[in-house]
Structure 1
Amino acid sequence: MPLPSTSTPGQSQTRTHGIGYSDEVEMADHSASVTRPSKDNGMIREKLTAIADVNTENTLEDQDATLLLSKSTPADAANMRRMGKPQQLIRHFRFLSTVSFVALATAAWEIGLFVLTPGLTDGGRAGLMASMAPIAGAQYHWVSEFAPDKYQRILSYISGWTSTIAWQAGNAQGLFPVGSLIQTMILINDDSYGFPSWQGTLLAFMAVLIAYTGVVYGAKVLPYWQNAVFVVHILAYLGYIIPVWVSSPRATHAQVWTEFDNGGGWNSMGLSVLIGQLSGISTQCGGIDTAAHMSEEIKDAAYSVPRVMVAVYIINALIIFPGVVTVVYHIDDLNAALNDPTTYPAIYVLRGAMSVGWITVILVLIALLNVASNIVYLAAVTRDLFAFARDRGLPFSRWISQIDDKRHIPVNACILSSGVACCLALIYIGSPLAFYAITSLGAVSLLQCYTLSIGCLLWRRLNHPETLPPAQFSLGRWGVPVNVAAVVYGTWCFFWAFWPQQTPVTAASLNWAAPIFVAALIGAMLYFVFTARKTYVGPVTEVEGRKEHFR
């Protein structure tokens, strides 16, 4: 994946070509390994693989063919060459389609408004309003390139595993809202419906199948329907908040901004509010960096990816904050909202604004938008898994990192990610608690990965700034303060993400993220000791200008 900016994580590598080689050399980029489906697909792939060989001298015609077939720009080719990676994917995505992709992946209001219960329980309306602060993201490649050379291997390996765990857990958890919304629609139309967990699992299987079909068999059209669905994403949001503001009962300004509630039973209101911020953290930190994971399929990624991430962050902020304000202003009875049969305060406020029929229509739209979100999220999860396997950090890495000759996507990684989601969904039948305990790893693992990668970037900026590649998206002198603030805030959030929602703590209320996170790290380290230490060296060992230090 193209490298992020030297200023802040989540930003992509510059068009400037890096250290130690010229424009003419860079044009013979690894992107040549990409092919188009045709009758002579095998011959073309063989020729382009030869072109991609860094030891092969290629003609300008070969280089132009490489760029054409992969839809890369010379800057894309230069960045892939600098990082020593073959261009195995085709760059179908452009700026606007990538903005739509990331906005749908984050599902800011479709998910964000339905995960307010922890914040409302621990802190109430006013406590929830204080929890909407964001955090930026990155990935294991950046840890490898920016960490001290002595520690880059183990630190990037740990980040690769935590990133993989986070995305796989997030994928499994994100597939459930579709089924949950379908069950909720049944419930609001039939009060006797009992929400059986086995039906939730079957509906999750359906969501997995749809997402897999969309990612694999709809790979070529994936970038082209995003913009239309993004428009629906905005219109459905307006269709939610406008009727609520017009018709639903309202709380007072004092209730919204000054009345806190310690529903978790903690010994101080401040502690309760801090614990309740997890829903806000999860909403803001999940999905924005899907753009980074799709970088090898975005044209002119070095320029586009950081701007996409900033644009989507702004769009999401303009959506989610008014959405949260709308919900909390129209909860006239907090206890009733928290005890609503649907379990969603966001649906409780709809009850006072419209009929059951219109609520059902709104929920159908939200469910369909979640289906679209599942497709694009699975695409990003697949690329994350593929990238780490390409660097031999996982079991069965060679199989996982294979690229399908016809579709030019990592189909095996998609199969595995879908299988993991189905296996986790089966756990839900026996114990919803166990399912949510495992998938709660998502926010914790992302925070660890983000904070470590930003910290490594900060270390390199302060100690060896001359080794940082140039950036097209730079914060200049504000880069260090922003990085420091991000590390501090990420560490702060990481600490609170392990706390249970209420006290006294029982097996049912314990936040199992902590023991499962530790167990996952132990498992990853055991795999490293016995296997990965022989195969995983860290992606920086292939980066131009740095790889010489590791030989």
Structure 2
Amino acid sequence: MGKRQQLKRHFGWFSMLGVTCTLTCTWEAVPILLVEGLENGGPGGLIYGFLYCWLGTMAIAASLGEMASMAPTSGGQYHWVALLAPPKSSRFLSYFTGWLSTLAWQAVLASGGQLVGTIIQGLVVLNHPTYDYHRWQGTLLFWAVILVALFTNVFLASLLPKIEVVTLAIHLAGFLAILVPLVYLSTDHSSAAEVFTVFTDEGGWNSTGLSFSVGLTGTMCALVGADAAIHMAEEVQNASTVIPWTMIGAIAINGTLGLAITIAILFCMGNIADALASPTGFPFIEIFYSATSSAGGATAMTSIITFLSVIATVNSLLSASRQMWAFARDNALPFSHILCRIETRTQLPLYSLGLSVTISYILALINIGSSVALNAIVSLVVAGLYTSYVVPITLILIKRVRGDPVRWGPWKMGRWGILVNITSIIYIILAVFFSFFPPTAVVTPATMNWSILVYGVVVLFSVGFWFVHGHKVYNGPIMEVTVEDVIGASSGQT
């Protein structure tokens, strides 16, 4: 793709599967994000909503994987947009997509630190009921998690491929370590009718369908992030084949485990009201405690999820820094000449790693004043990433429908491409739309979903910065080959 090789290609199939599975961390995220689906949709909504989101996410992974096979670069979405968009709009659309993806990945990183910090505080509440909860303590824990991620990315970088294989094994074993005691020790099991046919509308929407749709946000978050593999493309051997299969494999594995843990929790959770009213702030901790009748047992089970969430944060920094580095390499960010540097001894983008950590540290400070404000920022994850997906998918669909010649990579969907692309686009549009809804129909400043405001600011900033600065310095991905060498050079299969 005309890019000079600057990073070590030391990741293979299993190590990249480890990165993608543990970063997406679906089965770990399902219990954490359970409350949204329980309040809006209920047990039935969680199960059927998961199946719906799993299908949509698989379509996205296939669509992105096909383009990653065509052009396996760390820039990913914005690079493909530059190749696929009409010449007149190519630079702007590529720039806009790149900013959305870059900022969304910073939100992914911050969300990991925030979640781990608050889960640890929840465990303290479980074991020490008199603990006086303070947000500044959560901020310190947030910082500690990000610091662990930085240490691992810098000082253990050469060991990361092996570490990822080990954490993949822990990801799979940890699932069984929670599923078995949850099912075996729980004495209060719900009936099949209560799990598969009960829908709730605690948000006061007066519509089961609308309530169900609003409650999907947690499940969407639990499945998003497979494009992490794309941003590691320049560190992967045989990337044009490994990246697509890694994304598909990760969604298949995580979707299976996520659905299983969803059903298990719903059968074993007991009284929904008690779980939602947990003093820990996390219903899943209360469910574990109820199942084991032991604070120690619940702590052990929660610690597995906490550890794997730390690993997810490590991999979030890995992907976020590569996305930032790639965008800076193409002169799209302020101080690009610094952020694009690769430290010669380690062959790592240390400046992009450092800035990503700094951004998370600054965002963590917001939590001291308002957890609502921080939640609004990290909620950019779904809308930001999904928007960065829909632009290149729409462009490749247009080429398919028109019958334009495209030079495909070794991994392609062939005749199924149009159907899969359309499924992806419809799913993304609905997902982004409902991700802006608050959890209740009647809102207060504390319960309002401010993500639409944050998303609007990001979109306006991306567009505004293009007119102020971007159009002067950004000419699309800097390549040593022409667009014609990649797109339209052959008739290929469409």
Do these two structures clear the TM 0.5 threshold for a shared fold by scoring above it? yes
**Which of 427, 439, 444 is 1:501 aligned to?**
439
8 Å Cα contact 1:541/1:547 also seen in 2: no
Give the drift of 1:547: 7.4
TM-score, structure 2 as length reference: 0.91
**Which of 290, 293, 305 is 2:243 aligned to?**
305
Instruction: Look up the match of 1:115.
Output: 33
Instruction: Write out per-residue CA displacement over residues 142-172 of structure 1, whole angstroms, 9 at most, x where no aligned residue.
Output: 1111122221111111111110111001110
Instruction: Look up the match of 1:213.
Output: 151
8 Å Cα contact 2:83/2:483 also seen in 1: no
Q: Secondary structure at the match of 2:410?
A: coil
Give the drift of 1:470: 2.3
Instruction: Provide the C-alpha distance between the structure 2 equivalents of 1:268 and 1:141, rounded to a whole number of angstroms.
Output: 42
Instruction: Provide the C-alpha distance between the structure 2 equivalents of 1:117 and 1:448, rounded to a whole number of angstroms.
Output: 25
More helix per residue: 2
**Which of 450, 468, 472 is 1:534 aligned to?**
472
Instruction: Provide the C-alpha distance between the structure 1 equivalents of 2:376 and 2:114, rounded to a whole number of angstroms.
Output: 14
Instruction: Look up the match of 1:95.
Output: 13
Give the drift of 1:442: 1.1
**Which of 456, 473, 484 is 2:395 aligned to?**
456
Instruction: Provide the C-alpha distance between the structure 2 equivalents of 1:545 and 1:125, rounded to a whole number of angstroms.
Output: 50
8 Å Cα contact 1:102/1:291 also seen in 2: yes
Q: Secondary structure at the match of 2:190?
A: coil
Letter in 2 for 1:487: I
Letter in 2 for 1:429: I
8 Å Cα contact 1:147/1:460 also seen in 2: no
Instruction: Look up the match of 1:398.
Output: 337
8 Å Cα contact 1:393/1:535 also seen in 2: yes
Instruction: Look up the match of 2:289.
Output: 351
Give the drift of 1:307: 0.7
8 Å Cα contact 1:540/1:547 also seen in 2: no
Letter in 2 for 1:428: N
8 Å Cα contact 1:148/1:456 also seen in 2: no
Instruction: Provide the C-alpha distance between the structure 2 equivalents of 1:433 and 1:366, rounded to a whole number of angstroms.
Output: 24
Cα distance change on mapping 1:226 and 1:161 into 2, 3 Å = same
Q: Secondary structure at the match of 2:159?
A: coil
Q: Does 1:172 align with 2:90?
A: no
Letter in 1 for 2:158: K
Larger Rg: 1
TM-score, structure 1 as length reference: 0.82
8 Å Cα contact 1:146/1:459 also seen in 2: no
Instruction: Provide the C-alpha distance between the structure 2 equivalents of 1:465 and 1:88, rounded to a whole number of angstroms.
Output: 33
Cα distance change on mapping 1:295 and 1:435 into 2, 3 Å = same
Cα distance change on mapping 1:461 and 1:543 into 2, 3 Å = farther
Letter in 2 for 1:426: L
Identity of aligned residues (%): 33
8 Å Cα contact 1:458/1:484 also seen in 2: yes
Give the drift of 1:459: 1.3
Give the drift of 1:181: 2.4
Cα distance change on mapping 1:470 and 1:548 into 2, 3 Å = closer
Cα distance change on mapping 1:548 and 1:479 into 2, 3 Å = closer
Instruction: Look up the match of 2:299.
Output: 360
Give the drift of 1:541: 6.4
Larger mean CA deviation between 148-157 and 430-439 belongs to 148-157
Instruction: Write out per-residue CA displacement over residues 350-381 of structure 1, whole angstroms, 9 at most, x where no aligned residue.
Output: 11222211222222222222222211221111
Instruction: Look up the match of 2:141.
Output: 203
Letter in 2 for 1:386: W
Letter in 2 for 1:473: W
Structure 2 portions without partners, runs of 5+? 65-76, 488-494
Letter in 2 for 1:434: A
**Which of 276, 293, 297 is 2:215 aligned to?**
276
Instruction: Look up the match of 1:316.
Output: 254
8 Å Cα contact 1:540/1:546 also seen in 2: no
**Which of 352, 367, 372 is 1:413 aligned to?**
352
Instruction: Provide the C-alpha distance between the structure 1 equivalents of 2:344 and 2:185, rounded to a whole number of angstroms.
Output: 55
Q: Does 1:483 align with 2:421?
A: yes
Q: How many equivalent pairs are there?
A: 465
Which structure would you say has the larger RCO, counting Cα contacts within 8 Å and 6 or more residues apart?
2
Q: Does 1:378 align with 2:317?
A: yes
